[in-house]
Structure 1
Amino acid sequence: MSSSIIYALVANDNNPTPLAEVSLAEGNFQLMALKILQKIKPNSSISYSYEDKYIFHYHNDSGFTYLCMTDAAFSNRAAYNFLFDLREKFQAKFGEEAQKAIGFSASKQFEDIMKQRMEFFNTDPNADKLKIVRQTLDKTRDVMIENIDKVLARGDKIELLVSKTAYMSDQAVTLRKTSTRVKRHMWWKNFKLSLIIIAILLVVIGFIVLLACGGFTFPNCS
């Protein structure tokens, strides 16, 4: 399965509920993201690794946190490029009004943009080569990758569940149902065609027999 950005959110430091979030898979990773939001350090960038399978990256700037979860194989530079890109898009969209936003208030206006940017960074091979200001590049060099256990309280264990195939499975079920209907339709069509052919053959054979036997009274075959 290819590496990608799986989940992303934007949150205000004054409210633990995300202003907007987008998920490209199903799972309980939102629980882990909320745990991280509670441990955010102002104006910092940190990455947390979960069992070498997934990484949570966040960048906090001017009272807002931009966070994403990726596969471990996904480029760290591309992940932070995405977060900085998200920050620029969010600030351009809301400006000073963002300071007044509360939980999920930006979802309708911003989640489509978030999803578009996630898909771009997931599919464009040059996503980790975008030109970013020098200050941003310097920040990414200083980012530490820590174990996710650092944000969990002692004895507080969250088993991260991620299912990228959920939507694909739904599509597969629909495809199977459609395929079954098509097969059933074709079977009936072929069955009816076979009946017609058999009927025609019987008529032809009957006609030949009538000709050979001299008519319906079969005088030549008596």
Structure 2
Amino acid sequence: MTITYSCIANGRVVLAELALSGGSYQETVAKVLRLVLLKAEPKTIIQLGSCVYHTLFIDGITYLCATDNALDTVVPSAFLKKVSDTFTRNPLMSQEHFSPSNAVAADFQQILGKYMMKYNKNQDDSTISTASQVTDVKNVMTQNIDTILEREETLNIFLGRTDDLQTTAKEFQKTREIPRRIWWNYFRKIVIITMAILLSVIIILLSINVIPT
């Protein structure tokens, strides 16, 4: 956003004005001043052609500036407030003593130029600052994403190790169960053989009448 034109008017009479860019503003400014007087509102914003006109109307004096962007209203408002404060503080710039033919008009034209350059520069600095803040936020977000990815990778490694430990524990459990199965099978065989031997001995003893029937 750039302030390209500004002026101070008493009614429809322009007391001082300055344009930083080429082009004629007089005809459009006359229309804006007429609308401001009809509305008699403290603040107005009017878009005509490619410019946006911001006005501050106080005690019959209109402080006006033109910008190339309708989205920013803060900077033009601050600029007009600064111009009005400077104008009303100086008694030589009052309605009674200030006129287009007065040498003070040329002096105040320089003041308009100084404030226009100041607020345009502040706008540029604000844009640079905003861009820098966006870059900082982007860097922080990138770092946060990297941290999340690193933590996710660490978690995956931890979960993988946990799975390995669980698998190892299951394999160890199975390994312990193998000797138990072998021992149990061996014990069953001994019991069966022992029972078979005892049964055979009993049958033999019965056959030779050692054990009475």
Q: TM-score, normalised by structure 2?
A: 0.52
> Could you say if the C-alpha distance between residues 7 and 96 of structure 1 is closer, same or farther in structure 2, counting changes exceeding 3 Å?
closer
| Counterpart AA for 1:65 | T
Separation in structure 1 between the aligned mates of residue 96 and residue 8 of structure 2, nearest angstrom? 12
Tell me the equivalent position of 1:103. Answer: 100
1:60 is matched by which residue type in structure 2? Answer: F
Shift in alpha-carbon separation, 1:85–1:117, aligned structure 2, 3 A: same
Aligned partner letter, 2:65: C
1:37 equivalent among 30, 33, 48: 33
Query: In 1, distance between residues paired with 2:16 and 2:7?
Result: 6
CA contact 1:12–1:102 (8 Å) conserved in 2? no
1:24 aligned partner: 20
2:160 aligned residue: none
Aligned pair count reads: 123
Please name the residue that 2:68 is paired with.
71
Q: CA deviation at 1:39?
A: 2.1
TM-score by length of 1: 0.50
Q: Which runs of 4+ in 1 moved over 6 A?
A: none
Read off the aligned partner of 1:62 and give its amino acid letter. D
Larger proportion of helix:
2
2:70 is the counterpart of 1:58: no
Against the structure 1 CA distance between its residues 86 and 127, is the aligned structure 2 distance closer, same or farther, given a 3 Å change threshold?
A: farther
Q: Look up the equivalent residue of 1:112 and give its one-letter code.
A: Q
Distance 1:103 1:69, change over 3 A: same
The Cα of 1:95 is off from its aligned counterpart by 6.1
Note the residue ranges of structure 1 that are not aligned, 5 or more in a row. Answer: 129-222
CA contact (8 A) 2:75 2:123 kept: no
Contact 1:6 1:70 survives alignment (8 Å): yes
1:57 CA displacement: 0.6
The sequence identity of aligned pairs, in percent, is 24
Alignment of 1:41-190 (within 5 A): 41-51=39-49, 53-72=50-69, 75-94=72-91, 97-103=94-100, 105=102, 106-125=104-123
Greater Rg, structure 1 or structure 2?
2
Which residue pairs with 2:8 in the alignment? Answer: 10
| CA distance in structure 2 between the aligned counterparts of 1:127 and 1:92, rounded to whole angstroms | 29
Distance of 2:92 and 2:60 partners within structure 1: 13
1:91 Cα deviation (Å)? 1.0
Question: 3-state SS of the aligned residue for 2:118?
Answer: helix
CA distance in 2, matches of 1:101, 1:62: 14
Query: What is the deviation of 1:5?
Result: 0.1
Letter in 2 for 1:68: C
Deviation for aligned residue 1:58? 0.6
Q: CA RMSD in A?
A: 2.4
1:43 Cα deviation after fit: 4.6
Question: In the alignment, is the contact (CA less than 8 A) between 2:42 and 2:58 conserved in 1?
Answer: yes
Higher relative contact order (CA 8 A, sep 6+): 1
* Structure 1 residues 42-97: Cα deviation after superposition (integer angstroms, max 9, x where no partner): 3521001135x320011100110000000115621110110011100111223673
Are residues 114 and 96 of structure 1, via their aligned partners in 2, closer, same or farther at CA, if it must alter by over 3 Å?
closer
Counterpart amino acid of residue 78 in structure 1: V
